[in-house]
Amino acid sequence: MNNKYKLKEEEKKIEDELDNYKPVTGKKRERIEKIIANAKKNKAISLRMTNFDLEKIKEKAEEEGIPYQTLITNILHKYITNQLFDKEEMLKSIRLLKEERAI
């Protein structure tokens, strides 16, 4: 294996179990390919929010150097994939862990 990339735990597990996987054919393969194809498609939606929230999102997007629609999409994606964390809560947790280690 090439150590150029650091694998996540899930990726390591897949690599370790690679020999156990069996090829998928027929209708099951078609279904999987359809799911993958649909996952890559974007869908336009309409969304209502307060002017205040929209202006704040636009400010944040400008700070990040990305369009505000992209920022909204990124936030939603991180939320539904459990990757969105509150910065202050994370810092509080880190402080508490440090305090516990000091005891």
**pLDDT for 33-74, tens place per residue?**
888 888 777 888 999 999 999 999 999 999 999 999 999 999
Residue 3: pLDDT band with limits 50, 70, 90: low
pLDDT at residue 2 in the model: 52
Residue 63 to residues 52, 55, 56, 57, 58, Cα–Cα distance (Å)? 17, 12, 11, 10, 9
pTM of the model: 0.54
SS3 82: coil
Give pLDDT tens digits for 11-36: 888 888 888 878 888 888 888 888 88
